[in-house]
Amino acid sequence: MTGPEQHQAAPGDAPGFDQEKVAGSPWWRDAVFYQIYVRSFADADGDGLGDLPGIVSRLPYLRELGTDAVWLTPFYPSPQHDAGYDVADFCAVDPRFGTLADFDTLVDAAHGLGLRVVVDIVPNHTSWAHAWFRAALEAAPGSAERARYIFREGRGPGGDEPPNNWQSVFGGPAWTRATGADGTPGEWYLHLFDQSQPDLNWRNPEVGDMFESVLRFWLDRGVDGFRIDVAHSLFKEESLRDQVRTHEVVAGQTLDEDGGMVTPHEDDEPMWDQPEVHDVYRRWHRVLAEYPGDRMSVAEAWTKTPESMARFVRPDELSQSFNFAWLAAPWSATAFARVIESTVAALEPVGASATWVLENHDVIRVVTRYGGGEVGLARARAAALAMLALPGSAYLYQGQELGLAQVDVPPAARQDPMWFRTGEVGRDGCRVPVPWSGVEPPFGFGPGEGQPWLPQPEDWAALTVEAESADSDSTLSFFRRALELRRKVALASGDEVLVHPVVDGVLRFDRAELRVVVNCSQASVDLPPGEILLASGPLTDDQLPPDTSVWVR
Ligand code: GLC
């Protein structure tokens, strides 16, 4: 195993960095993170599935784009029932994605380019292929092996009914009945997600100890941080009582009437956001603090309010939490203004910095959410430019910089467990492999021929990295300029943001000398006086057209 000392960039090895030498505010507070969905980023061996060597070959692209860090989705051994979020071994690499040596190469290469590396940690559940769960199935009810998970007797005659009424996020009951050693139906186990993802019992100290060793394993290999999967889960109300449901349960994320993305919250949620979870993150904070160089953590916590999000980022807990309120907002100046103000207000008391995110591998691509086509793309660029001006850090999802829209993946090709459990379309449409070059699938995704693991649209030739790099008006060229200006102007503008009252569907906010206008209305509006630094689309006669935003100084 390699230690962090072996991952330091050599002196003069610009723009690499040294994890030991950190001055001033931690690097992550205003970093631009780029989410790499490992299966779909770059395929080095031509099997149609992305891999770690593929990522290494594309790191210079991310440096040139102007990002500061990459977050890698799970690449651990897994039966891949939930695209790797069903982890069978937390301290290894699935051979489909490479080897531990490939991982070390990736960390070294990233650090050499000045890019930080964040990995995903999945503490709520394991795969049913994890050694712990296999042992639990073999063992008797009441055994130490079963006590690592949440096994219970069923209700009703013969225990034929699930132990409570909880639903899986992916649809259907959150319980599956195990078979006893003699082949007869036995206890049920809890899975808030797919049945292949049994929930761990965080009231058992063995579980916390195991995850501390997982953190240390990756920290010792030089990772700069962790993205924590469903960070608001882990603990369930100890009684496992029925949930009182106030509206119909909808699987996963869905659209509200304004077209915004929401995770439906019940009034009563005995399975989410329990107070005990914060002790876990205090412990993780202490572990990360033992390592040099501002190692960080970011929570994926679909909490109900900005206030509940803020609890995860108290000074002795996690570094950041994804700001899903921004992602969930519809294309509306009023909604954006409200989110900016409530985010700042909620984080200020705990001294945490904000994050801004519009896309990830679980939600419909922003171009499509904002109406699709030219309008959707114009709005997606405008919202991204607004977000890149805001204090805090920004998260981009692969392909967002190309302006990719949601793909209508044909039913036969779909892989999301949500699709299999409910017949709902699911999340595959935002997970289609990145188009790099060429005029037909796999568009340079890998050396193979034909379609990768999820089929790419045949008409993506104009959306490849190669094609967009050659076009100064492309979405990619726009993102490159925006990230460069962000470093030069926005980051030098302090952390105060002043949101002006929304008038006629136009959002205006200032960050020191930087003035940002986002036109969410149907009519052109006057540009503010000053130097125009960057616009998200063409300007007309000193006017800011609808669906466009601008930075002025
Ligand atoms: C998170 C992941 C999602 C996964 C789920 C279960 O929400 O982002 O992709 O399906 O957790 O691990």
Does the pLDDT value for residue 529 go beyond 50?
A: yes
Cα separation, 125 vs 199, whole angstroms? 4
The catalytically annotated residue of 182, 290, 531, 541 is: 290
Does the pLDDT value for residue 12 go beyond 60?
A: no
H or E segment and range at residue 35: strand 32-36
pLDDT value of residue 303: 87
Residue that wins the pLDDT comparison between 87 and 247: 87
* pLDDT > 90 fraction of the chain, expressed in percent and rounded: 87
- CA nearest neighbour of 329 among 273, 379, 402: 379
pLDDT value of residue 246: 72
Supply the DSSP symbol for 230: T
In sequence order, what DSSP letters do the residues of 333-369 get, joined into one string?
HHHHHHHHHHHHHHHGGGTPPPEEES--TTS--HHHH
Does the pLDDT value for residue 13 go beyond 80?
A: no
Q: Are strands 296-299 and 225-228 parallel, antiparallel or unpaired?
A: parallel
pLDDT value of residue 181: 78
**Rounded (5°) CA angle 56-57-59:** 65
Residue nearest to atom 6 of ligand 1 (CA): 85
Peptide bond into 60 cis (omega under 30): no
43, 46, 49, 55 alpha-carbon torsion, rounded to 10°:
-10
Query: Tens of pLDDT along 28-63?
Result: 999 999 999 999 999 999 999 999 999 999 999 999
> Locate tokens 């003069």: which residue?
12
Residue nearest to atom 2 of ligand 1 (CA): 229
206 is catalytic: no
Instruction: Decide: 217 and 2 in contact? Cβ < 8 Å.
Output: no
Cα separation, 390 vs 491, whole angstroms? 9
pLDDT value of residue 19: 65
* Banded model confidence at residue 18, pLDDT cuts 50, 70, 90: low
Cα 361 to averaged position of ligand 1 atoms, centre (Å): 9
Cα 435 to averaged position of ligand 1 atoms, centre (Å): 24
Q: Which residues contact 34 (CB under 8 A, 6 or more apart)?
A: 62, 65, 67, 69, 70, 71, 395, 396, 397, 398
To test the pocket of ligand 1, the residue of 193, 232, 424 to mutate (highest count of ligand atoms within 8 Å of its CB) is 193
Q: Give the SS3 label for residue 26.
A: coil
Query: Tens of pLDDT along 92-124?
Result: 999 999 999 999 999 999 999 999 999 999 999
* Banded model confidence at residue 20, pLDDT cuts 50, 70, 90: low
Q: Which residues contact 290 (CB under 8 A, 6 or more apart)?
A: none
* Banded model confidence at residue 266, pLDDT cuts 50, 70, 90: confident
pLDDT value of residue 11: 33
The token pair that represents 275 in the structure block: 């107070």
To test the pocket of ligand 1, the residue of 230, 234, 298, 327 to mutate (highest count of ligand atoms within 8 Å of its CB) is 230
Cα dist. 426→42, 169, 429 in Å?
23, 12, 8
Q: Is the CB of 86 under 6 A from ligand 1?
A: no
Residue nearest to atom 12 of ligand 1 (CA): 85
Closest atom, ligand 1, to C-alpha of 125: 12
In sequence order, what DSSP letters do the residues of 486-534 get, joined into one string?
HHHTGGGS-S--EEPPPBTTEEEEEETTEEEEEE-SSS-EEPPSS-EEE
Cα separation, 258 vs 127, whole angstroms? 36
pLDDT value of residue 183: 87
How much is the average pLDDT of 414-433? 94
Cα separation, 350 vs 369, whole angstroms? 32
Does the pLDDT value for residue 186 go beyond 80?
A: yes
Q: Give the SS3 label for residue 177.
A: strand
**Rounded (5°) CA angle 120-175-187:** 115
Cα 271 to averaged position of ligand 1 atoms, centre (Å): 16
pLDDT value of residue 17: 65
The catalytically annotated residue of 94, 224, 229, 294 is: 229
pTM value is 0.94
Q: Are strands 514-519 and 548-552 parallel, antiparallel or unpaired?
A: antiparallel
Cα 392 to averaged position of ligand 1 atoms, centre (Å): 24
pLDDT value of residue 376: 98
Residue nearest to atom 3 of ligand 1 (CA): 362
Cα separation, 24 vs 80, whole angstroms? 41
How much is the average pLDDT of 369-373? 97
Q: Is the CB of 149 under 6 A from ligand 1?
A: no
Q: Is the CB of 170 under 6 A from ligand 1?
A: no
408 is catalytic: no
Supply the DSSP symbol for 11: T
- CA nearest neighbour of 97 among 112, 119, 117, 78: 78
Measured in degrees and rounded to the nearest 5, phi and psi for residue 111 equal -60, -40
Q: Give the SS3 label for residue 253.
A: coil
Q: 221: number of CA atoms within 13 Å, CB side?
A: 24
Q: Is the CB of 82 under 6 A from ligand 1?
A: yes
* Mean per-residue pLDDT of the chain: 93
Cα 490 to averaged position of ligand 1 atoms, centre (Å): 32
Q: Give the SS3 label for residue 310.
A: helix
Q: Is the CB of 453 under 6 A from ligand 1?
A: no
Position 428, amino acid: D
Does the pLDDT value for residue 295 go beyond 60?
A: yes
Residue 471 burial by CB count (10 A; 0-12/13-18/19+): exposed, middle or buried?
Answer: exposed
